[in-house]
């Protein structure tokens, strides 16, 4: 979707959410009064998602130039680096259907910045019992004492939904992202909270220092013979 880059407001003609309640648009990019080349060696300014899309495509191309990424890993990078927008914490109270998962931040998406302790990712797979893959994969995250924010984004490539246009839930494969604190307790508010979107993004402000565990677990897999690929992105930002 597109927004006015000077006023930072989402344009009225940009669509919001789907009939079954999923977060759409995924990401916002400038799309108002964008100057570009036109035929006959000239320039002109236009509005619309057609002008916002090249911004996102260019950042995706930069990512693919630097990393060997799957499509869902590219999406994890893009949505992890956004400004503002939705987060899964306390779902659905922090879902923003106007901004999706946030406004594109090209520099933060492509590069590890000086205010980041950690900027890493993994692409892996998960499975139901009997599939040969673990049904719960966890990652240790070492959060320093001076950390300002912990951001963890999970994306997976779900199968196409129901094309009939009804309003029923159309998520085929449901996996979950939840967290265990350094003291060993589980953040129960993060378990099985979002059963609609194939993106989960958590932002923890002033996270307690120590070793956190980010768990990717199976809720229900019924579209790919009990297995699912995913990509997970981690960022730890330091205090300014």
pLDDT (tens, 9 = 90+) of the chain, 240 residues, equals 666 655 456 777 777 888 788 898 899 998 888 888 889 899 999 888 888 999 999 999 999 999 999 999 999 999 999 999 999 999 989 998 888 999 999 999 998 888 888 899 999 999 998 888 999 999 999 999 999 999 999 999 988 766 665 666 667 899 999 999 999 999 999 998 898 899 999 999 999 999 999 999 999 887 666 899 999 999 999 876
Side-chain-facing half-sphere of 173: CA atoms under 13 Å: 25
- Which helix (H) or strand (E) segment holds residue 154: the answer is strand 147-156
Length of the chain measured in residues: 240
Record the pTM.
Answer: 0.91
User: Is-contact 90 200, C-beta < 8 A?
Assistant: no
- In angstroms, what CA-CA distances link 52 with 31, 112, 195? 4, 24, 29
């Amino acid at each position: 979707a597109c927004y006015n880059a000077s006023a930072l407001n989402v344009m009225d003609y940009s669509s919001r959410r789907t009939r079954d309640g999923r977060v759409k648009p995924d990401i916002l990019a400038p799309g108002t009064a964008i100057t570009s080349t036109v035929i006959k060696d000239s320039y002109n300014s236009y509005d619309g998602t057609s002008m916002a899309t090249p911004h996102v495509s260019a950042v995706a191309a930069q990512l693919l130039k630097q990393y060997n990424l799957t499509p869902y890993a590219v999406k994890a990078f893009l949505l992890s680096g956004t400004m503002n927008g939705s987060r899964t914490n306390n779902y659905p109270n922090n879902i923003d259907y106007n901004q999706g998962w946030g406004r594109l931040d090209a520099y933060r998406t492509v590069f590890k910045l000086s205010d980041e302790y950690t900027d890493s990712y993994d692409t892996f797979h998960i499975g139901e019992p009997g599939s040969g893959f673990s049904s719960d994969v966890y990652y240790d995250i070492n959060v320093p004492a001076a950390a300002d924010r912990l951001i963890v984004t999970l994306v997976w490539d779900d199968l196409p939904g129901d094309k009939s246009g009804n309003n029923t839930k159309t998520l085929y494969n449901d996996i979950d992202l939840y967290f265990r604190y350094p003291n060993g307790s589980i953040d129960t508010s993060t378990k099985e909270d979002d059963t609609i979107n194939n993106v989960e993004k958590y932002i923890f402000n002033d996270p307690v220092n120590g070793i956190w565990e980010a768990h990717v677990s199976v809720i229900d897999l019924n579209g790919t013979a009990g297995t699912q690929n995913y990509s997970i992105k981690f960022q730890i930002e330091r205090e300014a």
